[in-house]
Amino acid sequence: MLKKLTYGLLAMIFLWPAPPGWSAPQAPAAQKQPKDREEYDLYNSILKETDPAKRLPLLDQWKQKYPDTAFKEERLQIYMQTYQQAGQVAKAVEAASELNALSPNNFSANFTIASLTPFLGSADPKVWENGAKAANGLLETADQQFAPEKKPANVSDADWANGKKAAQIVAHQALGWVAMVQKKNEDAEKEFLKTLELSPNAAQVSFWLGNVVLAQKNPDKNTLALFSYARAAAYDGPGALPPAGRQQMDAYLAKVYRSYHGDDPKGLADLKNLAKASPLPPADLKIKSHAEVEAEKEEELRKTNPKLAAFVAIKEGLTGADSTNFWGSMKGHAMPPLRGTVVSAKPAVKPKVVVLAMSQSTTAEVTITDPETSARCKLDPGAVVEFESSEATEFTPGPFMIKMEGGKITSGCTEAPPPARKAPVRKAPVAKKKAG
């Protein structure tokens, strides 16, 4: 499912707006001259055309007629921008790479390559390396590119600062993605965390973060992985996954959460509500594993109902992987003090066979024969009894039943009233015969 979701989302084109440090080429500058009037008119017609589908044929015409133009950089800039607008991201990256070859470490080329590489869906290591190189180039030149003295007069201080921030976001996201596909999961985690610090609403990055953290198989990081999946599934503001992606992510989250923590609808709902409001988990959040939850329940049971806890441990042993050896250690030995609910008792008074439900209120799990009781002990169905020292004699796994003999029922009996005494039968007097 992870791979299916990842590559499904890679099809979604992720286009960053052009940063304020770069704008599309303008009309030919004085220091650069077109070869003739036709090239000048063609260049200007390209700049005026707003439809990328119509602009691309004009660019191809320009490239064919004037391969050695003085405006190679400008032409590649326009190609790069036009391909992005047309949704042809692979060609946009190709044009950006050509621009970098012509003008090394070109800021707009690096920005384009780094922002689009994670969404190419490429398995080519050379493409990954190109993306990482562009991302590192952005980080190296961001301070210089957005130096205060270079800010154009028509750009606000806030927009200028955001331009630098956008470059850093794109760079860390690309470096994280490259590390992820190279299976350098710890490096990817660091880069994605930096990305989310700068861009908290990047739900796609939250999804990737969950993947690389889970892949580390570090139990201490499972909370971060589950929280990141919950963020990708629950967040629906700017930067959220598309609705279909969130729905798919939600189903996957539910599956992983149940597998790790157990069936806990309220806990899952609380996690999603928390993740919807924040990209990263609170420092004190810990999602416990199913084993931890069960261990806590057992500990609580031992404190509040030690006799039931003792039976639960016996049942787990008899139904576990080593049940044969476990039964071998039980058979013929006295059981610890236990408690159960009467299913049936025969006869009703001073019973010889008592069937008990133990871990549930109505399912028979133990049969005791010839227990010691008081002379008038009466056991009614539903009565809770305690017994001790009964010897385990027989076990059947399906349906589950432990048979025991002897022992003593120590509580739960009610005293049956003594049988009613029958009134003596009076005989009618016999009439005496008169003497003859």
Both 150 and 55 in one domain: the answer is: yes
Both 230 and 346 in one domain: the answer is: no
Please check whether residue 305 lies inside any domain of the structure: no
pLDDT in the model for residue 9: 36
Query: Token match 């030995």: residue?
Result: 333
Both 157 and 79 in one domain: the answer is: yes
Both 270 and 366 in one domain: the answer is: no
Both 269 and 391 in one domain: the answer is: no
What is the chain's mean pLDDT, rounded?
89
pLDDT in tens, 84-116: 999 999 999 999 999 999 999 999 999 999 999
Predicted confidence band at 422 (pLDDT cuts at 50, 70, 90)? low
Q: What is the 3-state secondary structure (H, E, C) of the chain?
A: CHHHHHHHHHCCCCCCCCCCCCCCCCCCCCCCCCCCHHHHHHHHHHHHCCCHHHHHHHHHHHHHHCCCCCCHHHHHHHHHHHHHHCCCHHHHHHHHHHHHHHCCCCHHHHHHHHHHHHHCCCCCHHHHHHHHHHHHHHHHHHHHHCCHHHCCCCCCHHHHHHHHHHHHHHHHHHHHHHHHHCCCHHHHHHHHHHHHHHCCCCHHHHHHHHHHHHHCCCHHHHHHHHHHHHHHHHCCCCCCCCHHHHHHHHHHHHHHHHHHHCCCHHHHHHHHHHHHHCCCCCCCCCCCCHHHHHHHHHHHHHHHCHHHHHHHHHHHHHHCCCHHHHHHHHCCCECCCEEEEEEEEECCECCCEEEEECCCCCCEEEEEECCECCCCEECCCCCEEEEECCEEEEEEECCEEEEEECCEEEECCEECCCCCCCCCCCCCCCCCCCCC
Please check whether residue 310 lies inside any domain of the structure: no
Both 272 and 339 in one domain: the answer is: no
pLDDT in the model for residue 2: 40
Among residues 18, 122, 35, the alpha carbon closest in space to that of 70 is found at 35
pLDDT in tens, 53-63: 999 999 999 99
How far, in whole angstroms, is CA 28 from its chain's centroid?
54
Among residues 422, 310, 435, the alpha carbon closest in space to that of 366 is found at 310
Both 118 and 225 in one domain: the answer is: yes
- Contact (Cβ atoms closer than 8 angstroms) between residue 176 and residue 195: yes
Mean pLDDT, residues 306-334: 91
Please check whether residue 420 lies inside any domain of the structure: no
Mean pLDDT, residues 290-316: 83
Please check whether residue 107 lies inside any domain of the structure: yes
Both 336 and 273 in one domain: the answer is: no
Mean pLDDT, residues 269-278: 97
**Residue 280: CB partners within 8 Å, gap ≥ 6?**
193, 196, 224, 227
Among the residue ranges 238-242, 259-263, 391-395, 413-417, the one predicted with the least confidence is 413-417
Both 359 and 262 in one domain: the answer is: no
Range of the domain at 56: 2-277
Please check whether residue 320 lies inside any domain of the structure: no
Both 271 and 367 in one domain: the answer is: no
pLDDT in tens, 118-173: 999 899 999 999 999 999 999 999 999 999 999 999 999 999 999 999 999 999 99
Q: Looking at residue 31, which CATH number applies to its domain?
A: 1.25.40.10
Predicted confidence band at 430 (pLDDT cuts at 50, 70, 90)? low
Q: Looking at residue 398, which CATH number applies to its domain?
A: 2.40.50
Please check whether residue 430 lies inside any domain of the structure: no
pLDDT in tens, 327-361: 999 999 999 999 999 999 999 899 999 999 998 77
pLDDT higher than threshold 50 for residue 12: no
Both 357 and 251 in one domain: the answer is: no
- Contact (Cβ atoms closer than 8 angstroms) between residue 159 and residue 138: no
Predicted confidence band at 32 (pLDDT cuts at 50, 70, 90)? confident
Both 339 and 273 in one domain: the answer is: no
Please check whether residue 299 lies inside any domain of the structure: no
Query: Token match 């959460």: residue?
Result: 257
Please check whether residue 309 lies inside any domain of the structure: no
Q: What is the pTM of this model?
A: 0.71
pLDDT higher than threshold 50 for residue 6: no
Number of domains in the chain: 2
| Residue 436 token pair | 């003859």
Domain boundary pick from 207, 242, 277 = 277
